[in-house]
Amino acid sequence: MTTPTYIQDTQEEFDAIVVGSGITGGWAAKEFCERGLKTLMVERGRLVEHRKDYITEGRPAWHFPLRTQVENILVDQQYYVQKLCYAFSDATKHFFGNDRDLPYSTEPDTQFNWIRANQLGGKSLLWHRQSYRLSSFDFEANKRDGHGNDWPIRYQDLEPWYSHVEQHAGISGSRDGLAQLPDSDCLPPFEMNKPELELQKKFRKLYPDRPMIIGRAAHLTQPTALHLSQGRVQCQARDECQKGCSFGAYFSTQSSTLPAAAKTGNLSIAPNSVVHSIIYDEKTNRARGVRIIDNETLTEREYLGKIVFLCASTLGSTQIMLNSVSKKFPNGIANSSGVLGHYLMDHNYNASATGMIEGFEQEYYSGRRPTGIYFPNFQFEPGRYKKNYVRGYAFAGGAARADWRWGAKDKGIGAAFKKQLTEPGAWHFGLYAQGEMLPRYDNQVSLHASKKDKWGIPQLHINCRWSENEIAMMEDARQTAHEMLEAVGLKDVRSEVSVHNAAPGLAIHEVGTARMGRDPKDSVLNGFNQCHDVPNLFVSDGSAFCSTSVQNPSLTFMAMTVRAVDYAVKEFKQKKL
């Protein structure tokens, strides 16, 4: 790819400044650059070069001293929150933030697990890649049932932008014709295995309103000419995604949007640049740029730009805005409504059921498919809600055979034990709930009154709890999953619910703290992710969400970002910003 310009000190005033380099930051930079704007991408962490810096890629577990487990002392000192993430191991820890250097606090008797990846590419190197559109029901839910403010956009507003990002990113999946889960512009789907296909038939007969489909994922099953031109090739089904993928087979900033932005010659990148706050000019009521603390030297500098896009993650962007105070905005820039930091939400992954499948002992599969099966939300409108809670949930899951990994915690020694590890075990099928969290004013983030981090920036203080609605939802999801698995003939079905002792955050789908809305009195952004109060300041990450819906949010982050950039560029060229 064309090498972008890496900068530290500069007097240049850029057309656009993009804060963050993850999924939304990469898209914002690409779209600005391709529209001819000189763009600066500001990243608080280190550089990560595609292929070169995937330092553990291809290294098997037995090549790690503790078979990818991280030694306890290191975990206790540096990764006490990050270790809770499904993707954290000795093979991936270099892509996670250091908790010792990234402190935050929570309200007494609460917890929030904030997973961070501070490097070029951000969490686009670590995400789970499930990619679903929101539906008309999702954008209308707040208005229809009275929980949360009305989204100022509808599905039709995002539909062409979904297609735009899907074609570039490469989303595999089937076309299912479901009202609650609009079809994407997809590459061919991954295949279900034999037990899944048989169970799909049984579920279809018993539960015709609960379709089981293959998960849609940002993986190239059949690359197009566009993908090949990006230097990306077909997914090899290695299940090594969080180590980085030199094939570029899954979508990340490094594999896709960054090369496209750099190719234009309009991109500059400022790594190791921690954004302290937005520079605000009260006379013009415009953002002038960003104040920076150097990640390594702790020296200060400024970058100036005509448009500022915050893409630093929901909590990261909100922290920057809260810390950007002035006479006009004493409680954070663009916060005349007072809702900045409020309405924090995350997905509710706290119920599951599993069982054994008999009769497929001669069946196996090749490769390690990077997606599972999916039951879209079947309670997607008020008439389908359960009596004791509102909204709904989806189920993800799949069928697999036990393999050598079962022996990691088992006792054994010698040739017989080794031989046993080479033989596949029983087939199991599991369902795992992904539920919606309601927008509530009391769930919020604020700046700590006295504690600061190593860069002198006030720490975030988080107050976030599950409500009775989320608790009731997961109890129902457990029971429903259990009943479904027994109904299709699985044996030894077991189910559990963990919502009572599991804190929000580990879904890594936090959204809502700078929400969009129609009324500037109860929202921070308009329908184009533009601050009501400061016209040239935009926020296009999860902060903008008015509700979580049930689907994974990343595809919507992307679509909202490119739509916002398109709008911003048109306004910029008409000199309205």
243 located within any domain: no
Q: Assess if residue 464 is contained within a domain.
A: no
Read off the pLDDT of residues 251-265 as tens digits, 9 standing for 90 and up: 999 999 999 999 999
What are the CB-based long-range contacts (under 8 Å, 24+) for 358-367? Answer: 358/427, 358/491, 360/194, 360/195, 360/198, 360/427, 361/427, 363/193, 363/194, 363/195, 363/427, 364/401, 364/424, 365/193, 366/237, 367/236, 367/237, 367/238
Judge whether residue 186 has pLDDT over 90.
Answer: yes
- DSSP letter at 254? I
- Give dist(CA 164, CA 256) in Å, integer: 13
Tokens of 271: 């790594």
pLDDT(277) > 80: yes
The answer to whether residues 466 and 340 touch, using CB atoms and an 8 Å cutoff, is no
Parallel, antiparallel, or unpaired: how do β-strands 13-19 and 300-310 relate? parallel
Could you tell me whether strands 39-42 and 267-270 are parallel, antiparallel, or unpaired per DSSP bridges?
Answer: parallel
Query: How does pLDDT run across 393-446, given as a tens digit for each residue?
Result: 999 999 999 877 766 667 788 898 888 888 888 999 999 999 999 999 999 999
Q: What is the pLDDT of residue 1?
A: 58
The pLDDT value recorded for residue 366 is 85
Q: Which tokens in the block code for residue 100?
A: 């010792």
| The pLDDT value given to residue 413 | 85
In the block, tokens 């029983």 appear at: 426
559: closest CA among 156, 138, 130, 158? 158
Domain that holds residue 365: 189-216+350-435+470-503
Considering its fold, how many domains does the chain have in total?
Answer: 1
299 φ/ψ angles, rounded to the nearest 5 degrees: -80, 160
Strand, helix or coil at 144? helix
Average pLDDT, stretch 278-302?
97
In a domain, 397, yes or no: yes
Q: Which two tokens stand for residue 101?
A: 């250097």
Nearest to 238 by CA among 58, 83, 489, 104: 58
Q: Which residues of 314-331 are buried (b: 16+ CB within 10 A; e: fewer)?
A: bbbbbbbbbbbbeeebee
Q: What is the mean pLDDT of residues 244-255?
A: 98
**313 within 8 A of 471, measured Cβ to Cβ:** no
In angstroms, the CA 20 to CA 341 distance is 19
- For 435-457, write each residue's pLDDT tens digit: 999 999 999 999 999 999 999 99
Distances (CA, A) of 299 to 43, 302, 447: 15, 11, 22
- Which of 73-82, 414-423, 527-536 is the most confident on average? 527-536
Q: What is the pLDDT of residues 467-481, one digit of tens each?
A: 999 999 999 999 999
Q: In Å, how far are 194, 196, 219, 366, 396 from 363, measured between CA atoms? A: 7, 11, 25, 11, 22
Percent of the chain with pLDDT over 90: 93
450 is a domain residue: no
The pLDDT value recorded for residue 231 is 95
| CB environment 342-366: b (16+ within 10 A), e (fewer) | bbbbbbbbbbbbbbebeeeeeeebe
410 within domain boundaries: yes
State the pLDDT at residue 308.
98
Q: Which of 323, 322, 333 is nearest to 288 (CA)?
A: 333
In a domain, 402, yes or no: yes
DSSP 209: T
CA–CA dist 121, 21 (Å, integer): 5
pLDDT of residue 159 exceeding 70, the answer is: yes
pTM: 0.97
pLDDT in tens, 116-129: 999 999 999 999 99
Mean pLDDT value of segment 342-357: 98
Produce one character per residue of 160-199: b if its CB has 16 or more CB atoms within 10 Å, e if not.
Answer: ebbebbbbbbbbbbbebeeebbbebebbebbebbbbbebb
Percent of the chain at pLDDT > 70 equals: 99
At 343, the amino acid letter reads: Y
Rounded mean pLDDT, 519-531: 98
Token pair, residue 275, equals 């954004």
| 7 domain-assigned | no
Query: What are the backbone angles phi and psi of residue 31, rounded to the nearest 5°?
Result: -70, -40
Which pair of structure tokens corresponds to residue 371? 């997606």
Which SS3 state, helix, strand or coil, does residue 442 take? coil
> What number is the average pLDDT over the span 268-285?
98
In a domain, 240, yes or no: no
Structure tokens at 56: 């553990």
pLDDT band at 320; cut points 50, 70, 90: very high
pLDDT at 3 over 80: no
Task: Dig out the tokens for 241 from the structure.
Answer: 């995604």
The gap between the terminal CA atoms of the chain, to the nearest Å, is 32
Q: What is the mean pLDDT of the chain?
A: 96
Residue 5 to residue 284: CA distance in whole angstroms = 30
- Over the stretch 492-511, which tens digit does the pLDDT of each residue have? 999 999 999 899 999 999 99
Q: How far apart are CA 187 and CA 251, in angstroms?
A: 13
Distance CA 477, CA 436 (A): 12
What pLDDT shows up at residue 365?
86
The helix/strand count (H/E) of the chain reads as: 11, 17
User: b or e along 464-491 (b: 16 or more beta carbons within 10 Å of the residue's beta carbon)?
Assistant: bebeebbbbbbbbbbebbbebbeebebe
